[in-house]
Structure 1
Amino acid sequence: MTALTADQIARVKATAPVFAVHGTTITKHFYQRMFNAHPELKNLFNQTHQQSGSQPETLARAVYAYAANIDNLGALGGAVTHIAHKHASLNIRPEHYPIVGRHLLGAVVDVLGDAVDQATLDAWTVAYEQLAQIMIGVEAKLYEAAPWSGFRPFKVMRKQVESDEITSFYLAPADGAPAGGFEPGQYVSVKRFVDQLGVDQPRQYSLSDAPHGRWLRISVKREAGAADVQPGHVSNLMHDGVEQGAIVHVSAPMGEFKLDRQKSTPVVLISGGVGITPMASMLATLMAERSERQVTFVHACRNGRVHAFRDWLRRSAAEYPNLKRAVFYEAVSAEDRVGADYDFEGRVDLARIEADVMLPDADYYICGPVAFMRAQREALVARGVEPARIHTEIFGSGMLD
């Protein structure tokens, strides 16, 4: 790998602001350029995020962050690890990086033209090669540790409706082998062919049960869409077109959002909507291990009709002496029972449950819509919780910062 010179570092850093202004224009053109030359790569990218523009925006922010910190890559924190897990879940391999680099740099030239001189383009070429080698190295370790390579066929052993919006799929390897292990909080990618798009589409779903080797369980929310939001291609195919006995192709579990099972300190799980899925896995694991850790399970949803795992959570709170539950319903319906189905009306308000969530040395795990996670993290930090003890999971193209 060619090392960046001091002049090249200065050139990359100096041109970083270009991505603050023109980044999304460049990345949109990049994707168009790359897909025109390599249409097979559409199978690796969420085409809904392409159409909405959220994926190009996310890539533009990532390129800007890399360029702005080219002389201090440690400032990127866990971003490299986070992206590497996503890449490994999608089965992105070393041979893909030269293709991406060629078209990304080509898009820079196409959009900016004479504003980019050859020396600056050369500096960006070396910078991209450096980043590619970093990502390839991290991803190689993930692939080496994974229980299987690529997408593996699984058979749907059971399909269980969990709420009006969420359905669980119990998946066992089609060849009868063990399902393999994972860490509670991790996710898998599931690949389905979408007729409307003419390509395979991968979607990432958190595993929602404890690891035990017999099956993997994912719990999928039907994305019905709205006036300005397209229905979810894969989620609707899973709900309407995948029944017991069907074969789906699944990647190995990935994700750095995972329960630290070596600790004995308290755990606070905070979820909104379908964000309950990794929390269910974490709680189920603690219960299966007969852990003595103190656990507070905070969940928010609209009402009982969309509250997945409602009865399981109620039983768990009754059976597991170390568990405290705080369920918030924003729009309570007539059939919802306070104290049984839910505990509080309205949105999550940590001030109402402060004694149950502000626990010494606790770790906080948050999953849900981006705005929900941002609000909960800010509320915790305002109460003096160290950011290092707050863990979040983000899917799609959302960003907390």
Structure 2
Amino acid sequence: MLSQETITIVKSTVPVLQEHGHAITKRFYARLFENNPQLKNLFNQTNQKQDRQSMALANAVYAAANYIDQLEAIIPAIQPILHKHRSLQITPEMYDIVGENLLAAIKEVLGDAATDEIINAWAEAYGEIASVFIALEATLYQEVKENAFEGFVPFEVTEIIKESNDVKSFVLTPPDGMRLAPYQPGQYISVQAEIPTEEILHHRQYSLSKAYDGVSYRFAAKKDGIVSTHLHDNIRVGDVLRISAPAGHFVLDGSDSPVVLVGGGIGLTPLLSLADQALRLRRKVTVLHAVKDHADRPFAEQLEDFASRGAEILYYAEQNADADVVSGYIDAATLERNATDAEVFICGPEAMLQYVVNACLAATTAEHIHYEVFGPSLAVSTANA
């Protein structure tokens, strides 16, 4: 347990983290990869180049400092990180490496302002934070050990489906004799890609797009980025992809309330399995799907199937909107009307997420709004809840 003195010192650094947190985390990642190049394969290097990863870490460090005396309060917010760590096979030893480089980055960026007293307090606090993460992740690893497979396992690609001009679905079956690990609709798998032109392995998370059937996994990838482009251009039926067991917290609750699913483009992927499950449970389902071009809308057949099973499907498109499609963006009034008394699930670009969250907050509270972020877990404000 942290001493009151340590808690006081760490909380006193919150204003400094607000001002310098991004610079600290940028320096942290530079140090981490300089000193431990073997860890590059665990991080999306595109997000590194776009500075998204350091911004996400800055948010996490700030939250940890602000709640250092009540870390249990941030457990719901860190669930996406815990699941992603499990899917990437993050080990406790890696936390020592992270801590060493993070403390060094704080010292470098703050200079003389980072006194020994502050660095020592942060070292103690980081140890406490790491212990919380490690303990929670150990539970996830134990669940996988009992119910699924460990590590990255080769699955055969048995079917590839063209969903649109730039979206393909990949169906994977497990090795002979291996039971398909169960999953909850809304969860994802991590794909470990060995790309001939790359020096390191790349890992990407892809949402599972159908409810569990005990036979195969299916995920969809938009041709955008090094791994998804590799999948589109190089992977054929009969090839093998190494994946880790399903992970993620973006899942239905146990209530019978209506379910509203809001997707932007490829963001519909995890919502497909959620819609399927909710319809099987006889819950009222409304799907709002926005795309740039209706003529090239992915997953059209699945959406038509949901409609035939009783779901209300609202289509939006910026281009080629026909009589049954709203031209333009999803409007706030429709979101507010549907969010009332419902569980809302959102997946899409960050700007869309924030817009939809704000609109839904006019009709419901933050606890009934669930979202999945593309890439690192950047903050989506629910301050009006």
TM range (shorter): over 0.9
SS class of match (1:78): helix
Tell me what 2:191 maps to: 190
The alignment partner of 1:199 has SS state of coil
2:288 is the counterpart of 1:298: yes
Q: CA deviation at 1:141?
A: 0.7
| Counterpart residue number, 2:244 | 251
CA–CA distance in structure 2, aligned partners of residues 97 and 237 of structure 1: 31
Shift of 1:197: 4.2
Alignment counterpart, residue 123 of structure 1, candidates 94, 118, 121: 121
CA gap 1:239/1:305 in 2 versus in 1, 3 angstroms? farther
**CA 1:219–1:258 in 2, change beyond 3 Å: closer, same or farther?**
same
**How many Å separate the matches in 2 of 1:65 and 1:286?**
34
Matched, 1:59 2:57: yes
Does the 8 Å contact 1:172/1:216 carry over to 2? yes
Does the alignment pair 1:92 with 2:90?
A: yes
CA offsets 1:239-274 (integer angstroms, 9 cap, x no match)? 1011111111111111111122x3222111111111
C-alpha separation between the residues in 2 aligned to 1:97 and 1:345? 49
The CA deviation string for residues 261-295 of structure 1, in whole angstroms up to 9 with x for no partner, is x32221111111111101111122234x3x32111
Matching residue within 329, 353, 367 for 1:388: 367
Answer with 144-153 or 202-211: which moved more: 144-153
SS of aligned partner of 2:201: strand
Matched with 1:371 is 351
Candidates 320, 330, 352, aligned match of 2:318? 330
TM-superposed CA distance for 1:337, in Å, is 4.1
Paired residues of 1:174 and 1:247 also in contact (CA < 8 A): no
Q: Deviations over 1:47-91 (max 9, x none)?
A: 111122111121112111111221232442522222111111111
Which residue identity is paired with 1:388? E
- Given that 1:81 and 1:138 are in contact with CA atoms closer than 8 Å, whether structure 2 keeps it comes out as no
Provide, for residues 293-342 of structure 1, a one-character-per-residue CA deviation record: whole Å limited to 9, x for no partner: 1111111111234311112212331x213x1111111212xxx6433xxx
Distance of 1:174 and 1:155 partners within structure 2: 7
**Structure 2: how far apart are the matches of 1:270 and 1:242?**
30
Q: Distance in 2 between matches of 1:352 and 1:257?
A: 23
Is residue 335–residue 360 contact of structure 2 (8 Å, CA) maintained in 1?
A: no
Aligned mates of 1:52, 1:352 — CA distance in 2: 33
1:345 alignment partner in structure 2:
327
- The answer to whether the 8 Å contact 1:17/1:64 transfers is no
- Alignment-derived partner of residue 266 in structure 1: 258
Q: Give distance in 2, aligned partners of 1:292 and 1:125.
A: 51
Aligned to 1:226: none
Question: Quick check: 2:348–2:374 contact (8 Å CA) kept in 1?
Answer: no
In structure 1, C-alpha distance between the alignment counterparts of 2:350 and 2:241, rounded to whole Å: 29
Distance 1:284 1:75 in 2: 32
* Structure-2 residue corresponding to 1:229: none
Separation in 2, partners of 1:377, 1:366 = 8
Distance in 2 of aligned mates of 1:303 and 1:92: 39
Q: Could you list the per-position Cα deviations for residues 110-156 of structure 1 after superposition, in whole angstroms to 9, with x for gaps in the alignment?
A: 23232222121111111000011000011011111121212111110
Q: Distance in 2 between matches of 1:325 and 1:107?
A: 49
Matches within 5 A, 1:137-216: 137-146=135-144, 147-216=148-217
Query: CA separation in 2, counterparts of 1:177 and 1:338?
Result: 48
Q: How many residues matched?
A: 377
State the 1:184 CA deviation: 0.6
**Which position in structure 1 is the counterpart of 2:303?**
313
Would the aligned equivalents of 2:261 and 2:287 in 1 still touch at CA under 8 Å?
Answer: yes
**What is the distance in 2 between the residues matched to 1:306 and 1:187?**
24
What is the alpha-carbon distance in structure 1 between the residues aligned to residue 128 and residue 270 of structure 2? 34
In structure 2, the residue matched to 1:227 is: none
Paired residue for 1:240, among 219, 226, 233?
A: 233
Matched, 1:286 2:278: yes
| Residue deviations 1:201-226 (CA, integer Å, cap 9, x gap) | 11111110111110000100111xxx
Q: Aligned AA for 2:333?
A: A
Partners of 2:257 and 2:343 within 8 A in 1? yes
CA distance in 2, matches of 1:338, 1:353: 21
The whole-number CA distance in structure 1 between the counterparts of 2:291 and 2:54 is 30
Contact 2:272 2:302 in 1 (8 A): no
In the alignment, is the contact (CA less than 8 A) between 2:259 and 2:278 conserved in 1? no
**Cα distance, 1:196–1:400 mapped onto 2, change above 3 Å:** farther
Q: Mapping of 1:99-110 within 5 angstroms?
A: 99-110=97-108
Q: Which amino acid aligns with 2:232?
A: H
Instruction: Please identify, of 23-32 and 116-125, the stretch whose mean Cα deviation from structure 2 is larger.
Output: 23-32
More deviation in 3-12 or 194-203? 194-203
Structure 2 unaligned blocks of 5 or more: none
TM-score (norm 2): 0.93
- Report % sequence identity: 40
Matches within 5 A, 1:22-101: 22-76=20-74, 78-101=76-99
